[in-house]
């Protein structure tokens, strides 16, 4: 349970593969009475909690649904605007579902090319000559491992900080890429990878890696 996601970036910085692994993002549902004790705002076309944390609902969570109707951006599926629904007292009591928004495909592409540039900057800012780019980026809740091959492809693995054996996993990932993406005659180089065999083999390897080791230290 500790490899979160895998990204593959081509020479030019384009995202050619992305995989999220059992990333169950917590969703919280709560019934509210009028007036709402949370401050909501529109951010990036989503309704986001701006202030006021309660019962696990945190600043930055966004509204995923109301009374069982899924949200689409700042509108509900039935076309009503979320903020309007929440501002009229006759709709209360009301049940709202909160959660972290998943990254959209466009956002992932953007982040991938951003990392591509960061990698370059990292290498150029280096006080030592002949430095590689960013190989490991560490935060409280995840570690980002990046491996660049000699041909310029980047394999990025986001894993739990305690996960061991990520280097071996990346090596296996490279082999899987060489086997199941490149040996497929219908796959063209530098294009997004859409191969079922690649997916299944990657998934197996991820599960294997996770079984083998999470450091409990």
Q: Are 28 and 99 in contact (CB under 8 A)?
A: yes
Among 11, 46, 58, 108, binds other proteins (CB under 8 A): 11
What residues have CB less than 8 Å from 194, skipping those under 6 apart? none
For residue 137, state whether it binds other proteins (rule: CB under 8 A). no
Residue list 43-72, contact with other proteins (CB under 8 A):
none
What are the E-state strand segments in the chain? 3-9, 15-20, 27-32, 39-43, 46-51, 62-66, 69-72, 75-76, 94-99, 136-138, 143-148, 154-159
User: For the window 96-125, what string marks contact with other proteins as x by the rule CB under 8 A?
Assistant: -----------------------xx--xx-
Among 145, 177, 193, 195, binds other proteins (CB under 8 A): 177
For residue 205, state whether it binds other proteins (rule: CB under 8 A). no
Please work out the total of residues on this chain that contact other proteins, with binding judged by CB under 8 A.
Answer: 24
Q: Look-up: residue for tokens 């990254």?
A: 103
For residue 73, state whether it binds other proteins (rule: CB under 8 A). no
Q: Are 116 and 155 in contact (CB under 8 A)?
A: no
Among 183, 191, 194, 208, binds other proteins (CB under 8 A): 183
For 42, what's the count of Cα atoms within 13 Å in the CB-facing half-sphere? 9
For residue 130, state whether it binds other proteins (rule: CB under 8 A). yes
- Judged by the rule CB under 8 A, the positions of this chain that interact with other proteins are 11, 119-120, 123-124, 130-133, 148-153, 171, 174-175, 177-179, 182-183, 189
């Amino acid at each position: 349970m500790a490899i979160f996601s895998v990204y593959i970036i081509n020479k030019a910085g384009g995202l050619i593969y992305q995989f999220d692994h059992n990333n169950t993002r917590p969703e919280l549902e709560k019934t509210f009475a009028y007036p709402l004790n949370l401050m909501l705002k529109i951010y990036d076309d989503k309704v986001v909690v701006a202030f006021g944390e309660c019962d696990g609902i945190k600043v930055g969570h966004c509204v995923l649904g109301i009374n069982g109707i899924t949200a689409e951006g700042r509108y509900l599926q039935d076309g009503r605007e979320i903020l309007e629904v929440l501002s009229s007292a006759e709709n209360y009591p009301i049940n709202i579902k909160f959660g972290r928004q998943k990254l959209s495909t466009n956002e992932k592409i953007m982040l991938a090319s951003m990392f591509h540039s960061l990698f370059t900057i990292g290498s150029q800012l280096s006080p030592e000559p002949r430095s590689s780019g960013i190989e490991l980026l560490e935060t409280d809740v995840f570690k980002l491992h990046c491996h660049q091959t000699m041909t310029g492809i980047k394999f990025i693995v986001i894993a739990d900080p305690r996960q061991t054996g990520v280097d071996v996993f990346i090596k296996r990932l490279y082999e899987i890429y060489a086997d199941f993406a490149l040996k497929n005659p219908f796959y063209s180089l530098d294009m997004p990878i859409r191969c079922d065999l690649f997916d299944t083999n990657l998934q197996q390897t991820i599960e294997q890696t996770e079984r083998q080791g999470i450091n409990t230290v």
